[in-house]
Amino acid sequence: MMKKTYEIITASIAVVLLAGCSTVGATAPAGSGRAPGTSDADTTTEGTLHGSIPVDYLALGDLRTSADAVIRGTAVKTEEFVFQEVPHTRTTFKVTEVIAGQLAVDTIIVRQAGTAQTTFDAGAPALRGSQEYLLYVEPFEFVKGQPEPGEYVIVGPGAWEKDTKGAYKLFRNGATTVDVGKIPTLILPTEVSAQLSDK
Amino acid sequence: MKRLKIMTAATVLIVSGALVSPLGTTTAEAYNLFGCRHNTVNVTYSLGATATAYNSPLSSATANWTNTTDANLSQTPPAARISFVAANYGNVGWSGIASGSSTCSGEIYATSSAVGIQINRYYTDAYTATQKQGVIGHEFGHALGLAHTGATSTPCASVVLMNPSDGPRNSCVVYTTRADDRNGVNALY
């Protein structure tokens, strides 16, 4: 009798402790994944640029309104540079298809905040050489209405990277807190034109 | 028998602790932390390139953190813990950035130039003074160790200064710290 009671209590404690572990995980501050004051250097997001977002994009229509063009192509070459203390990446991008909108040239420069090592958390990560992408782009400018020749930026989270199966996956920083609303995280090749074309 | 009573009491304590404690945690700690903090409550910042229109919003934003939390932000010459720049970076998709705010060693930021705050005047020159203050205050929240909280769809009653988007903060008129922001910083300092 005594032994059986002892076993039941021991089992109860084990169950409670296990439940406690998962409960703590579920109720810890979202995003940090840990309680205040508890961390270690290994879990910090090294080199992340934490941005405040000036414009929210929650649907493809929002992206299209701002974008001059929706394009497919390949990142040919990347160049990292620092501009006014902020690391940036310029990518030479070979355009293979203009799905919507207009683009007069077949090679553009895509300018992004962040680099491969220092990721910008509020937009697409720096494009990777030799990878294929689907992008919503608009001209880069320092002054509204005065585009810098040949240079473009990605509109909000409007970048998808082609995976090994040919599908386009939304290209995002894993630690991002950006709300993308109804913007699809996966677009199949057969759906690209139908979903994104103006026609 | 006495041993059985002790074990039963221990079980009750463990069960009640497991049920009550996490619920309390949920309501009190919605804020998110990077897991980094300065090793002092007196946190210094220095000015790099900026513009006159940003002086008052900067003073208001730093005073707000100082007056509402246990952290004290004060401006010093170069070699401060935080550097502040307001410049034109173009339409690259951010109005403010805090670089280095999630990088530290053993939870502690470096004592010099640990975090760089950059404000993108391409967007913020068109903001009102209080909207500028909101972006600057948000970035100082990062520089003190706070991560983002909430989303674009967060209802106004729950929008805090550490919301990642200018849209909800501006439309909900959140330009100063909210209780959740203050709780986060006070948990660190």
Q: B37: distance to nearest CA of chain A, Å? A: 9
Residue A197: per-residue pLDDT: 76
DSSP class per residue in B105-157: BTTB--SSS-EEEEEEHHHHTTS-HHHHHHHHHHHHHHHHTB-----TT--GG
Architecture of the domain whose range is A60-196: Beta Barrel (2.40)
Choice between A48 and A107, residue whose per-residue pLDDT is larger: A107
Residue B159 forms contact with A (CB below 8 Å): no
* Neighbour tally for A79: CB within 10 Å: 11
Per-residue confidence band for A29, with pLDDT thresholds at 50, 70 and 90: very low
Instruction: Using the predicted structure, report yes or no on whether residue A46 has a pLDDT greater than 60.
Output: no
Contact (Cβ atoms closer than 8 angstroms) between residue B162 and residue B146: yes
Residue B189 forms contact with A (CB below 8 Å): no
DSSP E strand stretches across chain B: 42-47, 72-75, 82-87, 96-99, 115-120
- Cα–Cα–Cα angle for B106, A122, A114, rounded to 5 degrees: 70
- Alpha-carbon Rg for chain A, nearest whole angstrom, is 23
Rounded to 5 degrees, φ, ψ at A48 are -85, 140
Instruction: Using the predicted structure, report yes or no on whether residue A199 has a pLDDT greater than 80.
Output: no
What length is written for chain B? 189
Q: Spell out which residues of chain A touch residue B8, defining contact as CB-CB under 8 Å.
A: 9
What are the sequence ranges of the domains in chain A? 1-41, 60-196
Question: Distance between CA atoms of A24 and B49, rounded to whole angstroms?
Answer: 44
Contact (Cβ atoms closer than 8 angstroms) between residue B118 and residue B87: yes
User: Using one digit for the tens of pLDDT, what is the confidence trace for A85-96?
Assistant: 999 999 999 999
Q: Spell out which residues of chain A touch residue B146, defining contact as CB-CB under 8 Å.
A: none
CB-based burial of residue B88 (10 Å sphere; 0-12 exposed, 13-18 middle, 19+ buried)? middle
Residue B27: per-residue pLDDT: 38
Residue A173: per-residue pLDDT: 82
Residue B26: per-residue pLDDT: 34
Choice between A17 and B82, residue whose per-residue pLDDT is larger: B82
Q: What is the pLDDT along chain B (189 residues), one digit of tens a residue?
A: 445 444 444 444 443 433 333 333 333 349 999 999 999 999 999 999 889 999 999 999 999 999 999 999 999 977 799 999 999 999 999 999 999 888 899 999 999 889 999 999 999 999 999 999 999 999 999 999 999 999 999 999 999 999 999 999 999 999 999 999 999 999 999
Mean pLDDT for A47-71 is 93
What are the sequence ranges of the domains in chain B? 42-188
Residue A113: per-residue pLDDT: 95
Q: A165: distance to nearest CA of chain B, Å? A: 30
Instruction: Using the predicted structure, report yes or no on whether residue A30 has a pLDDT greater than 60.
Output: no
Residue A86: per-residue pLDDT: 93
What is the pTM for the complete model shown?
A: 0.81
Per-residue confidence band for A7, with pLDDT thresholds at 50, 70 and 90: low
Q: What is the largest CA-CA distance in chain B?
A: 78
Provide the ipTM. Answer: 0.81
Judged by DSSP in three states, B59 sits in helix
Distances (CA, A) of A134 to A12, A157, A159, A187, B113: 53, 11, 6, 10, 38
- For residue B124, give both structure tokens: 């913020």
Task: Inspect the interface and report whether the beta carbons of A111 and B34 lie closer than 8 Å.
Answer: no
DSSP 8-state class, residue A53: B
Residue A1: per-residue pLDDT: 45
DSSP 8-state class, residue A46: T
Instruction: Using the predicted structure, report yes or no on whether residue A147 has a pLDDT greater than 50.
Output: yes
Q: Is A58 left (phi over 0), alpha (psi -120 to 50) or beta?
A: alpha
Pick the CATH number of B42-188 from 3.40.640.10, 3.40.50.720, 3.40.390.10, 3.40.50.460: 3.40.390.10
Question: Distance between CA atoms of A17 and A102, rounded to whole angstroms?
Answer: 60
Per-residue confidence band for A188, with pLDDT thresholds at 50, 70 and 90: confident
* Neighbour tally for A76: CB within 10 Å: 13
Instruction: Using the predicted structure, report yes or no on whether residue A16 has a pLDDT greater than 50.
Output: no
Contact (Cβ atoms closer than 8 angstroms) between residue A140 and residue A154: no
Cβ-nearest to A41 among B18, B93, B106: B106
Task: Inspect the interface and report whether the beta carbons of B97 and A27 lie closer than 8 Å.
Answer: no
Residue A73: per-residue pLDDT: 97
Instruction: Using the predicted structure, report yes or no on whether residue A176 has a pLDDT greater than 50.
Output: yes
Q: Which of residues 2-41 of B touch A (CB under 8 A)?
A: 4, 7-8, 10-11, 14-15, 17-18, 22-23, 25-26, 29-37
